[in-house]
Amino acid sequence: MSQQEAKNELNKRTARNIIIRRGDYKGFLLYQETIFKHHYKKPLRATWWDSIIAIALMDIFWGVHDRLIIEMPPRHGKTERGVRMFASYGQGLDSIINFQYATYGDDLSTLTSSETKEIMESSTYKELFPNVDFSNKLNTKNHWKLSRGGGFLGTSVGGSSTGMGAEIHICDDLIKAIEASSKTVRDKAWDFYNSSVLTRLEGRKAVIIIMQRLHEDDPVGRALKENGLIADGGAWEKLTFPIVNSFEQFEQFYKWVKSKNIDINKNISDDEIKKIELLCDNDYELAQKEYDELYKPKAYQDFLLKQKYLVKYKKVAFYKFAREIFLEKYPFEADVISYKEHTVTREPLTTLDDGEYGLDFVVNQREQMSLSEFKKQYFQDAEVSESGFFDKNDFTYVADIEIPEQYEYILVDNAESQSASADDRGIVVVGKSELSDGVVKSIVMDGKYGKWDVYGTCENIMNLMIKFPKAQVLIEGAMGGITLGTVLKKEVLVYNNKAQVSSKPLITNSISVFKPTNQVSKNSIIGLMVAPLEQHLLHFYKFVDSAFLEQLMKEFLKFNPEKKHNTDNCIDPLARTFFLPQCTPKPFQKPKVVELKSHHQRRHSIRTWRGI
C-alpha cells in the first residue's frame, strides 16, 4: 500500500468513526456494518426494516421513549440487533450506563452475554471506542463492570438481578415457544417482569421487550393489556414485523401456488406454469455460473456441495418468479411502514429477509406448522382459536392399503402406584415413516386403556408386542416406570420359556426405559401434536381398539393447556413419540426403477434347455 493509499484509508476510518460516535440511527447502522465486516468477518445482511429498528432503539437510548416492544419471527436477527449490537454500542457511547438482559434460560443468557462481551473486547471495538475499559473488580461472561461505572448483567427468568440497577432492561423471549401454552410458565415470566425488571430500573428507566408472539397472554400481551400503546394514550411503542406483509396476502399466494400440484387448470394456466419454469431454468443457469465463479469446485465433495447449493437456489428461484406471476394476476398495493417521520415502502409479498428466509421458507413453514402457531410466530397474530386446542375436524383415518412401511413404537403411560386401584393406564402403538418431502407421517395403530396392576399392565403390553413384533417398547423411567420395565422383562422371559415348549412365536421386541425430562412440561409436549393433526400427518388406523380410540378422542377434545391436571393417559404417551429422539421415522426410499423389456428382450434373456 502506497503512502497516499494509507492516508486515504486512515481518512475513511476517521470519518467512519466520527459518524459511529455521533450516536444517531445512521451511526448505529454503520456500527453494525463495521462489526460484521471486521469482527465477524462477513457482510451484514442489511434489510429494509433495519433503519426502523435502529431509530426506535436509539430513541430508547436517548430517552425519547422508555418502553419499546419489537415483535418479529424467530431467527431473523432481533437478538443480534436488540441485544448484542445495541448493548455494546450503547456502552461505547456512554460507559456509565447499566444494561440488564434477560431471557428464558441461563444457558442462552450466558451465550448472548458472552458474545456481546466478545464484541467489546475486539480490536475493532477498541478502535471505535478507545476509552471503554473493563473493571478488574467484576469481569465475567454475563456480568461485567466498566472502569467508568457502567456495566452489563445477563440473567434469566427465575435468575437473580440483585445488587445492580438498570437504565435499560432488555427482555428477549422470556418464555419458550414450546411452553407458551402453560399458564404457570406465563405467570412466572410476568412475575419476573414485575419483581426483577421493573424494580431494578434507574436513570433512563427504560424497558425493551423483544419476542415473537406465542400466546395472547404472553409477556407482550400482558404488557399491552396493563399499559397500552402510546398511540392510544398508553406507555408502549410497538414495532410489529410479520414475515410477509399480511397473513391474508400470503395465504392467497400460498393456495394459488400450491394449487399447481392439485389442479393445474384451477388457478394457474399452462402458460403461467411454463413461464415460471422457463424463468427458473434461465436463472438456474446463471446460478451455476455464479457458483463456479464464487467457489470454483475442484473435487467431488465440492461437486456435491454445488448440487446442494443449486437445488436450494432453484427452489428459491421458483418462488421468486411465482411471486412475479402471482402479482401480475393479483396486483396488491405496496405497504408504507412508518415510524415517526421515517417511512419505508414494503412491496407486496416481501419477506423480512429474502436472502435467508424467502417465500420458499415461509411456504415450507406453512406446510409443517399448525396454523395457529404459524400465525402467532410468523405473523404476530396471537388471537385464540375459536375451535379449541384440538379440532375434531382434523382427525383422519386410514385403512390397511394406506399404511406405508414404518417403524413402530409401543409407549406406556406410567401410573404412580403399581396397584390395580391406581390411575388409568394407557398404552399406544404408533408407526412413523418419512415422506418424499422429508415430512414425517404418524399413524396410531392400536392401543389399550384401563385400570391394571403392574402384572396386568405387562400382560396388555405383551399382547401388543405379539401383535406388533417389530415395535420397540419405550417406558418412561419416572414414577413406576423402572419397576414396570423390570417386571415386563421378567414376564417376557417367562412367556418365551412356555412359548418355546409349545412351539409358539417368541417375543423379541426391544424394551427400553428412558430418562424422564423435567425441562418441558407434559402439556407442552402434548401441544406438539397440533401441527401434525392440522396438516393431516397424524392419522388413526380404522381398526384401532374401539374402547381405546373412544378414550383417546375424549382426551384430545377435553385437553386444555391452561389446566395443570388434564386427563391424558392416552394422549400423553402418543405425544411422546413427537418428542423422544428414539422415535425416528423409517427413512423414505425412492421406488426402484424397473426397466421394461420388450417381449423379444425377455424371451432372449431366459435360458432354456435349447441354449445348453
**pLDDT tens-digit readout, 403-431:** 999 999 999 987 655 554 456 789 999 99
Radius of gyration (Cα) for the chain, nearest Å? Answer: 30
Q: Is the pLDDT reported for residue 303 higher than 60?
A: no
What does the pLDDT read at residue 422?
Answer: 53
Least confident span in 86-90, 160-164, 276-280, 442-446: 276-280
Q: What is the spatial distance between Cα 545 and Cα 447, in angstroms, rounded to a whole number?
A: 6
Helix (H, G, I), strand (E, B) or coil at 356: coil
**pLDDT tens-digit readout, 496-508:** 999 999 999 999 9
Q: Helix/strand/coil (H, E, C) string of 164-192? A: CCEEEEEEECCCCHHHCCCHHHHHHHHHH
Pull the grid cell for residue 10. 486512515
**Structure pTM?**
0.71
Q: What angle do CA 533, 536, 541 make, to 5 degrees?
A: 90
Select the more confidently predicted residue: 367 or 420.
Answer: 367
Q: Is the pLDDT reported for residue 267 higher than 80?
A: no
Write the CB contacts of 347 (distance below 8 Å, at least 6 apart in sequence): 334
Q: What is the spatial distance between Cα 166 and Cα 512, in angstroms, rounded to a whole number?
A: 50
The residue behind cell 456441495 is 305
Pull the grid cell for residue 274. 411454463
Mean pLDDT calculated for residue range 509-538: 88
313 backbone dihedrals φ, ψ, rounded to 5°: -60, -40
Q: What is the spatial distance between Cα 381 and Cα 287, in angstroms, rounded to a whole number?
A: 36
Q: What is the spatial distance between Cα 202 and Cα 291, in angstroms, rounded to a whole number?
A: 53
Q: Is the pLDDT reported for residue 595 higher than 70?
A: no
Q: Strands, DSSP E only, in 406-549?
A: 407-412, 425-434, 440-450, 472-476, 511-514, 538-541
**pLDDT tens-digit readout, 168-195:** 999 999 999 888 888 889 999 999 999 9
What sign has the CA pseudo-torsion 179, 185, 186, 192?
Answer: negative
With a pLDDT cut of 70, the percent of the chain lying above it is 84
In eight-state DSSP terms, residue 214 is -
Q: What is the spatial distance between Cα 486 and Cα 551, in angstroms, rounded to a whole number?
A: 28
Helix (H, G, I), strand (E, B) or coil at 130: coil
Q: Are 443 and 402 in contact (CB under 8 A)?
A: no
Write the CB contacts of 276 (distance below 8 Å, at least 6 apart in sequence): 318, 321, 322, 325
Helix (H, G, I), strand (E, B) or coil at 610: helix
Please tell me the number of Cα atoms within 13 Å of 292 on its side-chain side: 6
Residue 208, Cα to own-chain centre: how many angstroms?
Answer: 23
The residue behind cell 420388450 is 598
Pull the grid cell for residue 185. 410458565
Q: Across all residues in the chain, what is the average pLDDT?
A: 86
Q: What is the spatial distance between Cα 342 and Cα 238, in angstroms, rounded to a whole number?
A: 15
Q: Are 552 and 543 in contact (CB under 8 A)?
A: no
Write the CB contacts of 201 (distance below 8 Å, at least 6 apart in sequence): 165, 166, 167, 169, 207
Write the CB contacts of 387 (distance below 8 Å, at least 6 apart in sequence): 393
Q: What is the spatial distance between Cα 384 and Cα 217, in angstroms, rounded to a whole number?
A: 10
Q: Are 30 and 20 in contact (CB under 8 A)?
A: yes
Percent helix / strand / coil, the chain, rounded to 5: 50, 15, 35
